[in-house]
Structure 1
Amino acid sequence: MDKLIFWDFQGTLAHNEWMLSKALFKVLCKYEPYTEIGIEDFKKISLVGFPWQQPEKEYVNLTSSDAWWNHIEDILIKGYIKLNISEEKAAIYSKEIRQVLASGESFQLYEDTIEVLQYFMKKGYSNIILSNHIPELPKIVEKLGLSPYIIDCISSANVGYEKPNPKIYHYALKKHCNYSDIWMVGDSILADVRGPEHVGIKAVLVRSNIEETVRYYSKDLLGVKEIIK
């Protein structure tokens, strides 16, 4: 087997719209069930400092799960404070976001995900998830039932580089080096098309409005079967 497909996760294989806003709101409601702050209020605040917002930087100092979440909790605390929640309460609430997101309960697979992963597996391709995500992504993927269809799940949080930083693709290619026919499939032009192409990986854009010319595009995963042979 010398054929490999890297798959993005969020927005490609599964979806969880407003992931962080929903998690922040859920924890708030746990502690303050009668709060007047709504989910729409969380959607309006700007959360700045996540590694994937500055992919040109390296985050090798955050590759342990605890270190990554300590960094993220500082961002989440500021988000709560923006909604006039005290810093003391914000610190308590923010520590619970990790558990909420790691549970994977809000993630849903697209209808075509398993069918397409299974199709390419039977065609002799190795499927690997390569995504900008939280450290617990491999556990989420397992809970969603994707483990039988993939050979590896690489989350940027565990590597220290974010797509489209070339170093994350080089890391994945070095880890899985016995392949000659390599593709990337995802919903981001920069992270899943331009970045991979820059290091010699063929790429398919899916589930995205085309804002610029791409060589390979499909509105869903089913169409990828007509592109990658």
Structure 2
Amino acid sequence: MKAIFVDMGETLVKFTPRYYEAVTNAIREKGFDVDEREVFRALMQQLGNHHFPHPEVGGLSNIDFRDLFYRLGLVANDKVIKDLESRSYLSNKYELFDDAIPFLEEVKKMRLKVILVSNATSSIHKIIRELNLIKYLDGVVASCDLGVMKPHPKIFYYAKRIAGGDGIHIGDVYEIDVVGARRAFLKAILLDRFNYYPEIKENKVNNLLQAAKLIKEMLNY
């Protein structure tokens, strides 16, 4: 085992508002009473089917709101859909989670490489510099640079090549992080900070300190 592969957004870095929170708020503005957890699950199920960035977004794909509404059991007219799809839901306000640096330091003590594997725009490079994450990283694999997104296994194969071998991937979205890692024959840990995946029981943690402990158990460290 050579490395730990780790997601950035909502794993190491908290965005305010979170992507799905911004989407939830926009839908509510249109008069729909939606549950935030249900929006998260429906949105991530949709994004789990996206493998390539949209050329106008630069590293990420667009939300198909008609499909999202279908998944939520809602019906909206073309005007509502068009307006929702014209908006940006990315936040420019971000900070590290309190457990991010302690987690990275624990991984380094295990003498494992840390490779960031993220679906992100080119702003990822600015973010990791500003938050001083760069000193903990042995590589950055971003969809904006590679032209392919998780859960496509290619992004993980590229990360494995940088690491020089296999590893364990940690991320907050089952459909993207866990499914994608397994497609590349990697072990995966789901970081479920808000219990949005109650049905998942195996290799799931609520914070990164639990993740560090689980990694040690998985590696018999």
Contact 2:113–2:138 under 8 Å retained in 1? yes
1:7 deviates by 0.5
> Alignment partner for residue 47 of structure 2, among 35, 42, 53?
53
Which range is displaced more, 202-211 or 153-162?
A: 202-211
In angstroms, what is the RMSD of aligned CA positions?
A: 3.8
Q: Secondary structure at the match of 2:168?
A: strand
Question: What residue ranges of structure 1 are gaps of 5+ in the alignment?
Answer: 24-38, 47-51, 84-89
**Residues 1:217 and 2:211 are matched in the alignment:** no
**Residues 1:179 and 2:159 are matched in the alignment:** no
**Residues 1:137 and 2:124 are matched in the alignment:** yes
**CA–CA separation in structure 2 for the residues paired with 1:70 and 1:227:** 31
**CA–CA separation in structure 1 for the residues paired with 2:61 and 2:101:** 31
Structure 2 vs 1, CA of residues 69 and 185 (structure 1 numbering), >3 Å: closer, same or farther?
closer
Contact 1:68–1:157 under 8 Å retained in 2? no
Contact 1:8–1:129 under 8 Å retained in 2? yes
**CA–CA separation in structure 2 for the residues paired with 1:139 and 1:212:** 36
Aligned to 1:197: 182
* Larger gyration radius, structure 1 or structure 2: 1
**Residues 1:158 and 2:145 are matched in the alignment:** yes
**CA–CA separation in structure 2 for the residues paired with 1:122 and 1:221:** 15
Contact 2:170–2:188 under 8 Å retained in 1? yes
> Alignment partner for residue 168 of structure 1, among 152, 155, 159?
155
**CA–CA separation in structure 2 for the residues paired with 1:160 and 1:40:** 29
1:20 deviates by 6.3
Aligned to 1:12: 11
Aligned to 1:108: 95
Q: TM-score, normalised by structure 2?
A: 0.67
**Residues 1:188 and 2:173 are matched in the alignment:** yes
**CA–CA separation in structure 2 for the residues paired with 1:200 and 1:126:** 18
Q: Secondary structure at the match of 1:215?
A: coil
Question: What residue ranges of structure 2 are gaps of 5+ in the alignment?
Answer: 31-38, 40-45, 65-78, 217-221
1:40 deviates by 4.8
Q: TM-score, normalised by structure 1?
A: 0.65
Structure 2 vs 1, CA of residues 225 and 139 (structure 1 numbering), >3 Å: closer, same or farther?
same
Structure 2 vs 1, CA of residues 143 and 156 (structure 1 numbering), >3 Å: closer, same or farther?
same
**CA–CA separation in structure 2 for the residues paired with 1:225 and 1:194:** 20
| Misfit runs of 4+, over 3 Å | 17-23, 39-46, 52-59, 67-73, 211-214
Which amino acid letter does the alignment assign opposite residue 118 of structure 2? Answer: S
1:9 deviates by 0.7
Contact 2:47–2:176 under 8 Å retained in 1? no
Q: Secondary structure at the match of 1:129?
A: strand
Contact 1:5–1:127 under 8 Å retained in 2? yes
Deviations, residues 32-61 of structure 1 (Å, cap 9, x unaligned): xxxxxxx95587479xxxxx83754434x8
